[in-house]
């Protein structure tokens, strides 16, 4: 089964199946940003689109008790949401793979894929982080 991003512009999926977030780099400010920017918010100079690091450290997390997208029964499931600091200074907020209590602040995380819907033989995915 092939996998594709649910929405283009936030991440790519390489031929080997590995994901990479897309961000911007400002040479003028020597800063990275996520998501992609049209210009540097500091210098207003042009930026270039780059792939961001795929590993980081969990800065903070919470667990949201609510029905998972597409669930029909109240109280069914929930999801972890965290902020992950990448080594280039970018902080990304995303869903976390796992169950409540699986995460600790400061643990190493890696970029991962979370299937959202199947369309024929293709899974449309969003990005998330899992324990490295």
Supply the DSSP symbol for 86.
-
What's the mean pLDDT in 91-115?
A: 96
- Report the percentage of the chain scoring pLDDT > 70: 92
Give the chain's largest Cα–Cα span. 51
pLDDT band at 71 (very low <50, low <70, confident <90, very high): low
What is the structure's pLDDT at 50?
A: 98
Query: 96: which 2 tokens?
Result: 């976390």
What is the structure's pLDDT at 95?
A: 94
Q: How many domains does the chain have?
A: 1
First to last CA, the chain: 24
Alpha-carbon gap, residue 83 to 127, rounded angstroms: 13
Q: Check pLDDT > 90 for residue 132.
A: yes
For residue 96, give its domain range. Answer: 2-131
pLDDT band at 68 (very low <50, low <70, confident <90, very high): low
Q: Which residue has the tokens 């991440």?
A: 11
What is the structure's pLDDT at 69?
A: 58
What is the structure's pLDDT at 65?
A: 82
What is the structure's pLDDT at 1?
A: 87
What's the mean pLDDT in 21-28?
A: 98
Q: Note the pLDDT tens digit of each residue in 40-51.
A: 999 999 999 999
């Amino acid at each position: 089964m092939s996998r594709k991003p649910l929405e283009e512009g936030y991440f790519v999926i390489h031929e080997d199946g590995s994901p990479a977030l897309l961000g911007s780099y400002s040479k003028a400010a020597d800063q990275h940003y996520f998501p992609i920017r049209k210009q540097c918010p500091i210098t207003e100079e042009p930026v270039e689109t780059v792939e961001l690091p795929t590993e980081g450290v969990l800065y903070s997390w919470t667990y949201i008790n609510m029905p998972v997208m597409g669930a029909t029964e109240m109280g069914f499931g929930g999801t972890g949401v965290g902020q992950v600091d990448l080594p280039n200074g970018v902080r990304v907020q995303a869903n976390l793979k796992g169950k409540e209590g699986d995460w600790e602040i400061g643990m190493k995380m890696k970029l991962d894929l979370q299937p959202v819907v199947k369309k024929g033989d293709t899974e449309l995915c969003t990005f998330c982080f899992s324990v490295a």
